Amino acid sequence: MRCEAELELEVSDPESLWRALEPDNLEAPPHLRVSCSPADRTLRCRVEVVGCEDPRRILTLRNTLDEILVLARAVEDSFRALGEGSVLKR
């Protein structure tokens, strides 16, 4: 069984946020697939987990979504600290 979730973030600079998230996505375990794609003012991330009959895999899905949001906030804080403005739209 497979579980999937999609997260869509409205951002001012989706390309920069995507580049910041991409290295983490390259080292995912075999049962986890994360793919993000920048578009005009939007970053879409799709998370897929194989083996969702195991409750720990469902938690992996949730934790991965949480991690994406935490990293997005960190990128935004970095942009603000550098005087670049905000990457996330409110």
Among residues 12, 62, 70, 72, which one has the least CA distance to residue 32? Answer: 62
Whether 6 shows a pLDDT value over 90: the answer reads yes
Calpha distance 25→77 (Å, rounded): 21
**pLDDT per position as a tens digit, 32-48:** 999 999 988 899 999 99
CA-to-CA separations, 61 to 40, 54, 72, 82, 84, in angstroms, rounded = 26, 12, 17, 32, 31
Instruction: Tell me the pLDDT of the chain averaged across its residues.
Output: 85
Domains in the chain: ranges and CATH: 2-81 (3.30.310.50)
Q: Where are the beta strands (DSSP E) in the chain?
A: 2-10, 32-39, 42-50
pLDDT confidence bin for 86, thresholds 50/70/90: low
Helix (H, G, I), strand (E, B) or coil at 8: strand
Render pLDDT for 9-18 as a digit per residue (tens, 0 to 9).
Answer: 988 788 888 8
